[in-house]
Amino acid sequence: MEVHDLGDGEPEVAVVGAIHGDEPCGARAVERLLDADIDPERPVRLIVANEAALSAGERYLDADLNRAFPGNPDAEAHEVRLAAALLDALGGCTTLAVHSTQSYAEPFAVIDSMDEVTRAVAPHLPVDAVIQTDAFTEGRLIEHPHTLEVEAGLQGTERAADNAYWLARAFLAATGAISAPGADDVLDAGGREDVSVFRLRDRIPKPAADSYEVFARNFERVESGERFAAADGEPLLADEPFYPVLLSPNGYRDQFGYVADRVGTLE
């Protein structure tokens, strides 16, 4: 784990990249923040989490780090030990964890539940949606207080790396650590109106097949009876209306993605 502290005093705000080693955009964002030589108003901690998996180009070595929290410092699995060390490094920090996906090119935020940190920070991030995952967060970093995840875009792309940097800058501005781009005051972080909030309701199972297709678009309503995917050319139809989230033919081994409900907006 690579840790960099900026500013004076105990870190209050943190940005974490490379929780998954096959998602380099967060580590790239940390590198750019270091190169930017920022002078924060609040002490900041920048972390590249799973360096070993990042070097190997693998999601993880022994276990999925983002399913291993709170971890165990005495565990045999590398990521289970790392989870405990990472939580210790993030103690007392409001945290942004940077990820990327195989299903959606635009940034969105992922939270455990709608708390005061989400309401204060999320509207100032360059995202169009916030996903509440409270029924599906076991073992994930966002289970822990004052933590948000962002999905920066498509895994391994330059666009995701660029998005990750600007998401991190916006997060640091929203938490009062730095000024927003073009702003003179660290408190002037700008804002976005009507950010849609979705809540995950269920998984979309993926039947055994040799080939998969998806036809629906993430965050766009699928109507009852509508074809949203196919397995070996056989169409899968919606039993009831839903909003697909993280829908992809390749992202998960045993599921297409998630069924979600649109529950309102974050203003």
On whether the pTM is more than 0.85, the answer is: yes
On whether residue 196 sits in a domain, the answer given is no
On whether residue 181 sits in a domain, the answer given is no
Q: Which amino acid is at 11?
A: P
Please check whether residues 130 and 14 belong to one and the same domain.
yes
Please check whether residues 30 and 141 belong to one and the same domain.
yes
On whether residue 55 sits in a domain, the answer given is yes
Please check whether residues 164 and 47 belong to one and the same domain.
yes
Please check whether residues 222 and 95 belong to one and the same domain.
no
- Give the other-Cβ count within 10 Å of 64's Cβ: 16
Please check whether residues 214 and 155 belong to one and the same domain.
no
| Domain endpoint, select from 175, 193, 218 | 175
Number of domains in the chain: 2
Statement: residue 193 has pLDDT above 90? no
Q: What is the pLDDT of residue 185?
A: 46
| Domain endpoint, select from 175, 192, 221 | 175
Residues of the domain holding 226: 206-260
On whether residue 194 sits in a domain, the answer given is no
Please check whether residues 112 and 230 belong to one and the same domain.
no
Q: How confident is the model at residue 186 (pLDDT cuts 50, 70, 90)?
A: very low
On whether residue 185 sits in a domain, the answer given is no
Contact 2, 14 (CB under 8 A): no
Q: Which amino acid is at 72?
A: N
Please check whether residues 59 and 125 belong to one and the same domain.
yes
On whether residue 197 sits in a domain, the answer given is no
DSSP state of 70: T
Between CA 33 and CA 246 the distance in angstroms is: 28
Please check whether residues 25 and 130 belong to one and the same domain.
yes
- Tally of helices (H runs) and strands (E runs) in the chain: 5, 13
On whether residue 109 sits in a domain, the answer given is yes
Section 97-111 average pLDDT: 94
On whether residue 78 sits in a domain, the answer given is yes
For residue range 37-81, what is the model confidence (pLDDT) as tens digits? 889 999 999 999 999 999 999 999 999 999 999 999 999 999 999
Please check whether residues 168 and 231 belong to one and the same domain.
no
Please check whether residues 221 and 167 belong to one and the same domain.
no
Please check whether residues 160 and 212 belong to one and the same domain.
no
Q: Which residue has the tokens 């899968």?
A: 236
For residue range 228-249, what is the model confidence (pLDDT) as tens digits? 999 999 999 999 999 999 999 9
Please check whether residues 41 and 99 belong to one and the same domain.
yes
- CATH code of 34's domain: 3.40.630.10
Helix (H) or strand (E) holding 149: strand 147-154
